[in-house]
Amino acid sequence: MEPRTSNLLDEAIGFHGHDKPDPLSGRFVLVEDCIETSGAFVLHHLLKRFLSSHPASVVIFLAFNHPFAHYDRILRKLGCNLASQRDNSRFFFVDMLMLQCPGENNEDSTFVALDHKDIYLNGERPILILEMEYLADILIKVEPLATGLAKDVHGQLTVMNKGAQNPRTIPSIKIRNFHFRIKENGTEYFYAGTKT
């Protein structure tokens, strides 16, 4: 396993703790973005992080938009070979456009969804989307800057992490807000006002 440096997104999700090597196991992560500011980089980050965090983990990826080659090419830039992960039965790619399913059944799986929030601005949001927001253990909102465009800042992230679900206790909700800048081989996360 390669050494990793922590970043604000990892800390907000819970990857910074050594006591829990797999904070997404059995949890539902919802990423909301808008046309103006895509959240695809968060999916790429989570894919890489999940596949590298636990050698026995398995990812089942439902693709509604791009073919496997698209994700493989991007993840290779980030240092993760999806083709190799697929060949080792750690990454199952389900192309929903082609309806090609791997036929595997895995009980221990992390559910990540991406919702383009602003396509519903002119009408009511579907009940399914509202239910997904309610059920999500981690909600990541990718938005443009509230102050408008900036040269070195591409947008802002709000991460709402409900913490571990325990029926005996009230879940602790942690909310983190920070900015991001997308680079060629990754993404940089930082708090507002910390970049010059």
Q: How many CB atoms lie within 10 A of CB 187?
A: 17
Output the pLDDT for position 98. Answer: 66
Q: Say which amino acid occupies 74.
A: I
Output the pLDDT for position 86. Answer: 93
Output the pLDDT for position 97. Answer: 63
Which is nearest to 182 in space by CA: 150, 147, 140?
150
Quick check: is 49 in a domain? yes
DSSP-assigned states of every residue in 129-157:
HHHHHHH-SEEEEEE--TT---SS--EEE
Quick check: is 122 in a domain? yes
Quick check: is 104 in a domain? yes
Output the tens digit of pLDDT for each of the chain's 196 residues.
444 556 888 888 887 665 555 677 777 788 888 878 888 898 898 888 888 877 777 888 878 778 899 999 999 999 999 999 999 999 988 886 665 444 544 444 465 666 656 555 566 666 667 777 777 888 888 888 877 777 788 889 999 998 765 666 666 788 999 999 988 888 899 988 887 5
Q: In the structure encoding, which two tokens stand for residue 168, read together? A: 């005996």
The CATH number for 65's domain is: 3.40.50.300
Output the pLDDT for position 72. Answer: 93
Sign of the dihedral defined by the CA atoms of residues 71, 74, 78, 81, in that order? positive
3-state secondary structure at position 97: coil
Quick check: is 103 in a domain? yes
Quick check: is 134 in a domain? yes
Determine the Cα–Cα distance for residues 134 and 28; give it in Å rounded to an integer.
10
Output the pLDDT for position 107. Answer: 43
Containing domain of residue 173, as a range? 8-190
Output the pLDDT for position 120. Answer: 54
Number of domains in the chain: 1
